[in-house]
Structure 1
Amino acid sequence: MNKPIVCQVNKTSINQHSAKLLCVSILSSFMLGACGGGYSSNQGSITPPTPTTPTSPTTPATEVAPEGSCSANQLIVAQSVTGNGDTATANTPTRVIDNDLDTFWLSSTTQANITIDLGSIYQVKEVRIAWQDGQSAPYRYDLSGSVSGNAFYDIATGLQTTGTTDLPESQSITATNLRHLKLTTNFNSGTDAGIREVFIFGCDLSGARQQVSTEFVLSTLGLDPNVPPSGNFDLLTWGLDNPEDNDNNGRSDRIQERELAAGFTNDFFYTGADGGMVFKAPIYAPKTSTNTSYARTELREMLRRGNTSISTQGPNLNNWVLGYQPEPTNPVGGVGGHLSATLAVNRVVEAGENYQIGRVIIGQIHAGDDEPIRLYYRKRPGHDLGYIYFAHEINGGDDTIRMVYGPEYTNQNNQPNFTSAPTIGIALNEVFSYEIIQQDARIDVLIRKGGLSAPIVGHQSIDMDALNSGYDVQGEWMYFKAGAYTGNNTGAQGDFFQVTFYELENSHD
């Protein structure tokens, strides 16, 4: 669907120190290009549309890759980068690891290269590269590795991009132990080489937990602990599903936009001591409908912003449509969307049925009946760390599960390994951020430790065309949800989940 971009940004955190126009930055860079390029996920990795078969690694006598192996395949945080070529000041090699997909390294030097230092030796299994102007023509490049940073050995040569997308393209490689990864371009003289970002996946040979700084000064957001949530957040673009039934209609109460924005607060939705917006969700409470199995304290996106002449349901100005749906017959609130949040999960329910223990939904894209994305946090009893995954519900069908940040899959049903505690994840009360980005047929989820400017530590995506998800039809309509939607109805009486949000932004084209 080709439409002019009209950037509508609803910044739900009023006093942010660095409010970002996400339609201009990430949506205009990370999600540019042909999103229907045949991406699919398999066991947690993105498969490129036309994979290139890499050559087998060869190790020269001057340097030998160390032996050893590890099982995980997680994002490795790069420490530094160097490069050659006639780069401009604004397009230096550091742009490829700055976690900003709106910036890029650019060089017109023949066989220009960049070398990324991981800080210590890792086993590298996959490289994902987002190319500047990657939708215009294919790029050719080689990958090599080194332990010392001096002598390099080939990892894969003669690689080529699809030439159809600016989005990150994945290149699986033969698992190779290295500290320094070099990317060398193979262009004709005068051809510009531009790379937006390089994501390197693998595992730590030492078995140690990858340490990423979680320091995030919440006071810089200007949140006031002495006001209701609407004093810190713009809640006129949200309604609240409140786990009470004060009108005795057998369903949970919906607090509409104007009441919410006027200062609504209760025992389940209030401002915490640090100024965060607290969602407390008991597992036994009134539910939103008879078709719902679980209770919630959760915001529901309302693009009508209090204009009650617009219905809450249907493809209309209150809701939006996916980027690959047919042109809507009625005006809608947007095409595609971006939901970003900074939060901490404070409490999970650790009793009940095994498949329900410790899981809570913290963000959604909801359709009329099904959910293209349910984003989960889950922590098992006795584990220090929880993990983050999402479920993509086929329209009228079953869920497809994708891990975003946590343990590896262990079977064909994409179920995580519960036999041992994860070494990579998010602890209770640890501040982290998520972004859900929808454009064309693609949905991407990014996880950061700390605020929205912190390094990306997890990334996963799906292509709804490739999965035949069934949402590309007239009449479907979408809205974001955020908060604490319980995934447990078998735990102990009186138990509850609690999640605190510090930033929340929703935007649409």
Structure 2
Amino acid sequence: MLRGASPKLVAAATAATVVLTGAVIAASSTAAQAAPAVTRAAAPKLSTTVAPGGNFNLSVWELQEPVGSPGSPRTIPSAQLQGAKGYQDSYFYTDTKDGAMTFWAPEKGVTTPNSNYARSELREMNTDGSSADWKLAGSHQLQATLRVDSVTDHVCVGQIHLGTGGSSTKPLVELYYYKNGNIVLGEENSPSGGQTTHQIANVPVGTQWSYTIAVSGGNTINLTVNGKTTKYAIPSSFNAYHMYFKAGSYNQSSSSSTTKGARVAFYALTVKHS
């Protein structure tokens, strides 16, 4: 007992010491039992200071833009798209905030002969510069991570298009994003036309999401959106046709406005065939 201290004060001090000591022991025990911190590797960041060709492999793409002469939009070949100093302009550029490869397609713009809508869109090519034109047999895959920043009504962000093998200029499938966030697959009924749509998911405007459009076995479309896969049979009427992929911003509405339209930003884009 401390000299001059009352028994009550000593008891209180002793109790406080016990409480504090217990708190320290408990804290030490909790820290010792805590799981070690897990360090996750950061996803590769896109450069904000290079053209899209500096971040993405554009050796298998050419670009169609919503400018040019009527029925003949400007086309930028793969050789001009590639590399850190590759082609970019107001319709196709690197977002200086996050490095995304960005496509802008206004409501008013030059269209292809078989469409009423403007586009800033990549068309699949072969590495030798010829147009991609693959058979349905085998495995074919288009993968993308993207964000739709603005859209007037809806926009096609990826598609499988018919190539040689017949006179049709239709797509096989188109993946649409709507202004309310709905993601919808448009499946062509036959080379003559007519499209059946399937509601797939909903992602708010400005939110990143991912898709994979794949062909397997020569007769099945495998669509994966944010990890969920759905399958669709390919009608036999398409068997004679070869195919190719497209990706970007293919606006699905038109008007006299050059300020309204669809702006789509890609964070990853790859093609695989086997």
Answer yes or no: same fold by TM over 0.5.
yes
Partner of 1:361: 156
Rg comparison, structure with higher value: 2
Match of 1:267, SS state, is: coil
Structure-2 residue corresponding to 1:447:
225
Measured at CA, do residues 498 and 296 of structure 1 come closer, stay the same or move farther in structure 2, by a change above 3 Å? same
Distance 1:371 1:336, change over 3 A: farther
1:399 corresponding residue in structure 2? 195
Q: Is the 8 A contact 1:320 1:336 kept in 2?
A: no
> What number of residue pairs does the alignment pair up?
224
Alignment of structure 1 residues 307-346 onto 2, 5 Å: 307-308=128-129, 310=130, 312=131, 318-323=132-137, 335-346=138-149
TM-score normalized with structure 2 length: 0.77
- How far 1:480 sits from its partner (Å)? 0.5
1:469 Cα offset (Å): 4.7
The 8 Å contact of residues 435 and 447 in structure 1, kept in 2 or not, is answered as yes
**Structure showing the higher strand proportion among its residues:** 2
Distance between the aligned counterparts of 2:124 and 2:71, measured in 1?
A: 23
**1:232 aligned partner:** 55
Amino acid at match of 2:185: F
CA contact (8 A) 2:70 2:111 kept: no
Matches within 5 A, 1:96-495: 220-245=43-68, 248=69, 250-262=71-83, 263-272=86-95, 273-288=97-112, 290-303=113-126, 305=127, 307-308=128-129, 310=130, 312=131, 318-323=132-137, 335-349=138-152, 358-368=153-163, 369-380=169-180, 386-393=181-188, 394-405=190-201, 425-440=202-217, 441-448=219-226, 456=227, 458-464=228-234, 468-473=235-240, 476-490=241-255, 492-495=257-260
CA shift, 1:489, in A, is: 1.3
Answer yes or no: is the 8 Å Cα contact 1:436–1:443 preserved in 2. yes
Q: Distance in 1 between matches of 2:104 and 2:124?
A: 19
| Matching residue's letter, 2:193 | G
SS at match of 1:231: helix
Contact 1:404 1:445 in 2 (8 A): no
* Separation (CA, whole Å) in 2 of partners of 1:361 and 1:445: 15
Over the residues paired in the alignment, what is the CA RMSD in angstroms? 1.8
- Deviation of 1:459 after TM superposition, in Å, equals 3.0
Answer yes or no: is the 8 Å Cα contact 2:106–2:257 preserved in 1: no
Q: Is the 8 A contact 1:295 1:486 kept in 2?
A: yes
Distance 1:322 1:402 in 2: 22
Contact 2:109-2:258 within 8 A present in 1 as well:
no
Q: Secondary structure at the match of 1:226?
A: coil
TM-score (norm 1): 0.42
- The answer for the alignment partner of 1:501 in structure 2 is 266
2:270 and 2:183 mapped to 1: Cα distance?
20
What secondary structure does 1:372 align onto? Answer: strand
Q: Which amino acid aligns with 1:396?
A: S
Q: CA separation of 1:241/1:428 partners in 2, compared to 1, >3 Å: closer, same or farther?
A: same
Q: Deviation string for 1:331-384 (max 9, x for gaps)?
A: xxxx431111000000011xxxxxxxx21000000013221110001124xxxx
Q: Using the TM superposition, give the Cα deviation of residue 291 of structure 1 relative to its aligned residue in structure 2, in angstroms.
A: 1.6
How many Å apart are 1:319 and its aligned residue? Answer: 1.8
Q: Which has the higher contact order (CA 8 A, sep 6+)?
A: 2
Matched-pair contact (CA < 8 Å) for 1:402–1:460: no
Question: Given residue 229 of structure 2, which amino acid in structure 1 is its aligned partner?
Answer: H
Contact 1:228 1:271 (C-alpha < 8 Å) held by counterparts: yes
| Partner SS, residue 221 of structure 1 | coil
Kindly provide the amino acid, as one letter, of the partner of residue 444 in structure 1. N
- In structure 2, what is the Cα distance between the partners aligned to 1:375 and 1:267? 24
Structure 1 residues 498, 504: closer, same or farther in 2, change over 3 A? same
Tell me, yes or no, if the aligned pair for 2:70 and 2:110 is still in contact at 8 Å: no
Q: Deviations over 1:139-169 (max 9, x none)?
A: xxxxxxxxxxxxxxxxxxxxxxxxxxxxxxx
Aligned AA (2:79): R
**SS of corresponding position for 1:252:** strand
CA shift in 2, pair 1:397/1:469, >3 Å: farther
Q: Report the secondary structure of 2:43's partner residue.
A: helix
The whole-number CA distance in structure 2 between the counterparts of 1:470 and 1:365 is 15
Q: Give distance in 1, aligned partners of 2:231 and 2:256.
A: 32
Q: Distance in 1 between matches of 2:107 and 2:236?
A: 30
- Structure 1 residue 404, shift from structure 2 partner: 1.3
Of Structure 1 and Structure 2, the greater helix share is in 2
Letter in 1 for 2:251: T
Identity %: 33
